[in-house]
Every structure is written in structure tokens, then in C-alpha cells.
Structure 1
């Protein structure tokens, strides 16, 4: 069906969003911005924290500094190392997809690359991706701009139009669509309303569905 598959990381391959956003809410509250967990998730899911610099400064009344960001990263990473797990079914799904597209897969995230590599390694997924890990932090624009998906497709030598992007947020789906890829929306909880009004080709709710869709040709 596709020549390559490009995965988002957080919320697609690893169940990191509640952990990361829990820590972010803590440090923002400590800085003077009182947020509920739901509010924090709504504002920051699918985005790089540094891209919300202006709003953080406005809400906290304090400058957004590299020291503050470094302290957040350190606390976040400690919590991830203690608690992170793969999304249910993700390892099996990635294994099948990797085989079906002859290894032409990549991880394209809006998070910093060190975090993405750490997470993939923790849950046993890094061997499938190797060096094919891309971060919006390393490019002129992060999601919802298409840069990270365009970079991943170019590295694989595949036309973006022949790529499948697997995303769990509207921000990420917008990036995949802007790159010219087919986008499937992953929504492990709820009904996929995050993708309402967006031309995503499919919404699925469990990684077993992705595995089955790619494993099917093996039976033929």
C-alpha cells in the first residue's frame, strides 16, 4: 500500500504524553501558571514546549530561559525513565510494518531527538528505527509545518505521496498532510474527534489494527 511508513513517537509508539504533560504542568504551576491537567494537555499536546514560549512568558510573568527548559527536561526524563511503557501493541505493529516495507520506516517527532531516542530504546523499538529518527527541533519549523516528515521521507528516498504517516494529534496530522503524505489517525481513547474536518484517510483505535492491515498481504 505504501513505500514507507513514518511514525510520530509520543502517544503513538510510547505512552509518554500523560507523564510528560504531568511534569510540565508541575513546573508551570511552580512558575505561577495554574493549569489543570486537561488544560495542559489541550495546550501542549503535539507541540514543542519552546514553541509556546510567548504564552508561557505571558502566563507566568517570567522569562522563558534555557535554564528553565533544561530543568524541565531533566525532571521529565527522570519520570520517563521510571514510568514509560510502549503503547499497547506498538512493538508488534512496528515489527510487522518494518518487515512489509523492507525497513523503510522512520520516527518523526516534534520532541527533542535525545528524548525520542531514549524512549524508543527503553521500550525495545530503537533497533527497528536505527538512525532514522527525526526531530522538529533540528529543523527550521516543527509541527504543524511539514518539515520533519519531509526530512524523513527524503532520508528514505521515498516520495512523500507514497508515505503513510501515523499520528495521534491534529497538529501532527496537519504536518503529515502538508507534506503530501497519507495520514492515519491513531486514537486509542475516544472516537477520533481530534481529526474532525481533516482529510485523514483512516482513524484506528488499537495498534493491533495497524498490524493486521500490514500483515494481511502475508496471508495472500
Structure 2
């Protein structure tokens, strides 16, 4: 069915979303936008911070400068280096995908590339992804647009329709679907509400399920 597997990073390979959004909430609160953690997750989950530039500038009354972004990145990366954990079973799923596709796997993230590379290195996955790491920041449009998944598929020489995309957010799932790929939704809580209304082919709770299913799909 599939010739390549394309993984999102945050929330799929590493449990980084609570850390990143926690730091983002801190810096936004300091800038004058009072947000709860739940509100911050709802607004920014699966998105690049810059994609919410207009709202950030409206709520804080300040321009979203490169200096502000770099300060946020530095604080975020420091926290990630200290606290980041790999999603349970993710390394095994990546190893299985790499083995069964003969290396035709990639990471396609909406986050900035230095963060993605750092996290993949910390998770021990660099030998499996190599240079096949793609950032929405390097594309004309980030998720929910399909650009980053189309770039990853093109690099692998795979038709998007024969790519399996693994995502954990509606924003990412929409990007994979728009690219013409089949999307599986990772939802450790099991309810799958993040994907309601989207044609996600399967929702699964643990990365071990993906590793077990891959041999029959590739």
C-alpha cells in the first residue's frame, strides 16, 4: 500500500508540546497577553508561532520581532534540552519504518529546523532519518498547507498517494490530507477528538501499534 512513511515530530516522536507551549505561554504573559496553558495549547498546537503573528501583535500591543523570536527559541531550547522525553515506542516505530521501506522515511515538521534536528538527535533517531528532515519554516507555507509533506515525498521520490503520514494534530492531519497522503492519527488518550471531521484513515493510541502494523502495509 505505501512506499514511504512521513513522520511529524512534536507529539509524534517526542513529547515536546507541553514544554514548548509552556515556555511560549510564559513569554506571552511577560509580553502582556495573559493566557492559561489550555488556551495556549488550543491556539498554537501544531502551528508555527509566526503564523499567529497578527493575533500576537494585537494581544500584546507589540511587534513580533526577530529578537523576540530568538529569545523565545533560546529559552525553549534550554528547557527542551533539560526535560525532553521520547514518545513511548516511537524509536521502535521509526526503526520498523526504516527497515521495511529500505530507508524511505522522513520527518516533516511545522517547527523550525534547528529544533527538529536537536530533538531527533536527543531521541536517538538521527541514524534513521539522516538528512531527510523537513521544516515548514523552509517552505512557502507551513501546516495546515501540504508544502512540507510534498517536499518530503519529492525528496524520497515517492508519490504522495503512496505515503503514510503519522500526525497527532488536526493541523498536521490537514496538511497530510491536502498532500494526497493517507494519514494515521496518533492519539494516546484514545478518543480521537482531535481528528473529528477529518478523513483520517486510522487513529491509534501507542506507537507499538504502528510498528506492528507496518510490515503488512509496506
- TM-score range (shorter-chain normalised) is over 0.9
Give the TM-score, by structure 1 length: 0.97
Deviations 1:107-140 (A, max 9, x none): 0000000000000001101111000000000010
CA contact (8 A) 2:2 2:217 kept: no
Distance in 2, matches of 1:32 and 1:217, equals 49
**Once structures 1 and 2 are overlaid, which stretch shifts more, 12-21 or 182-191?**
182-191
Distance in 1, matches of 2:3 and 2:190, equals 30
Distance in 2, matches of 1:30 and 1:132, equals 36
Alignment of 1:118-137 (within 5 A): 118-137=118-137
Aligned to 1:17: 17
Taking a change above 3 Å as real, the CA distance of residues 207 and 32 of structure 1, as seen in their structure-2 partners, is: same
Secondary structure of the 2:197 match is: coil
Deviations 1:178-214 (A, max 9, x none): 0000000110124111101110100001001001102
Give the TM-score, by structure 2 length: 0.98
- Could you list the runs of 5+ residues in structure 1 that have no partner in the other structure? none
Aligned to 1:188: 188
Distance in 2, matches of 1:210 and 1:83, equals 25
Distance in 1, matches of 2:189 and 2:79, equals 23
Distance in 2, matches of 1:3 and 1:11, equals 23
Superposed CA RMSD: 1.1
Give the aligned length.
Answer: 218
